[in-house]
Structure 1
Amino acid sequence: MTEPSATGEIAIAAPPEKVYALVSDPGALAEMSEEYEGHRWVGGAKGPAVGAKFRGRNRRGFRRWSTLSTITDADEGKRFAFEVTTFAGLPVARWQYDIEATGEGCVAVESTWDRRPGWLRAPTSLFTGVWNRDDANRANIAATLARLKDAAESRV
């Protein structure tokens, strides 16, 4: 796999299983995210498992859009990841959360890969209002990880 287009990491004084429970729950993740605001399981999915799909609701200012995500990795306490597509099935991004145990808790790494074909970047930028997606994602990841740390450490 290529290098992520944006990534960040944070030390968290909580067990990896607690951090995993937060990032693998699309509802909890929405509470910590900058653009992602909610989900609905689709195709009979009822929870975070490989192959499960959820419709994501996103917002930035007055702009709103939805995506379809398919969970690709669900290794409890270690990794949670999903691939995001447009409503038409075009690739958008991969989001991945890696968690490594430490003596004091764990380190969480959030990464994303921009999967949009070149021709799709301008239309999606116009639609979302984000012209430099990598910079925006770096800032969004930093904010999400700070909220993840607060949430995980407050629930220890």
Structure 2
Amino acid sequence: MMYADLPTARATVDVNATPEVVWSLVSDIHLMVKLSDELLEVTWLDGAGEPGVGKKFRGRSFHDALGEWESTSTVIEFKPNSAFTWEVNAGQDVRSSSVWGFSLEPRPAGTELSQWGQMGPGRSGLNHAIDRLPHKEEKIVANRLREFQAGLESNLRLIKELAEGAR
């Protein structure tokens, strides 16, 4: 798969907790710092008001192969107890370098929680590696997609534990 194909990782878990309990976790951007191996810090840029569509937050991240970077994210979907999606702009490109989201579906025994992350369409730190080694683009993208997948699965496992402990 090539970067231009908008590679996307997705994970889903059933949580034995109400959508309201799960929502309180996934809509807390500060919790993501505790869950992620890459995200070091996150700050709302729009004050301490209620999050919503159009609101922005800044993240500071680190990856061994990519170094440290800052990005600004804009919330593009915010439906309490249902969906939280944001696009990341990590540089001067006006297109998002990635898009991330959570979706929640009520189930008889609780909530089906999904998280997904899409690379592109705008440039990201990954493109620097691809620019240097264009003949290895598919391998570079596949490796990063595996990291995305592992991160999503870890996030959901921890959110499930927190939500079910909060019942």
TM-score of Structure 1 vs Structure 2, range by shorter chain: 0.7 to 0.9
TM-score (norm. length: structure 2): 0.79
Pairing 1:59–2:50 present: no
Cα distance in 2 between the residues matched to 1:86 and 1:101: 33
Q: CA deviation at 1:121?
A: 3.4
8 Å CA contact 1:82, 1:95 repeated in 2? yes
- Cα deviation for residue 102 of structure 1 reads 0.7
Unmatched tracts of structure 2, length 5 or more: 132-139
2:7–2:145: 8 Å Cα contact kept in structure 1? Answer: no
Equivalent residue for 2:102? Answer: 97
5+ residue gaps in structure 1?
A: none
Counterpart CA distance in 2 for 1:121 and 1:61 is: 12
Question: Given residue 127 of structure 2, which amino acid in structure 1 is its aligned partner?
Answer: A
Which structure is larger by alpha-carbon Rg, 1 or 2? 2
Q: In the alignment, what sits opposite 1:134?
A: 145
Note if contact 2:10-2:149 (Cα within 8 Å) is conserved in structure 1.
yes
Give the conservation status (yes or no) of the 8 Å contact 1:9–1:109: yes
Residue in structure 1 matched with residue 117 of structure 2 by the alignment:
112
List per-residue Cα deviations over 1:50-99 (Å, max 9, x = no partner).
11000012123493221100001110100001000114355211001000
Count of aligned positions: 153
| Aligned residue among 15, 18, 30 for 1:15 | 18
In 1: Cα distance, 2:85 partner to 2:129 partner: 22
The alignment yields a C-alpha RMSD, in angstroms, of: 2.8
Which of the residues 41, 45, 65 maps onto 2:44? 41
Q: What is the identity, as a one-letter code, of the residue corresponding to 1:36?
A: L
CA distance in 2, matches of 1:33, 1:85: 18
Normalised to the residue count of structure 1, the TM-score between the two structures is: 0.84
1:69 counterpart (48, 64, 73): 73
Q: Is the 8 A contact 2:86 2:101 kept in 1?
A: yes
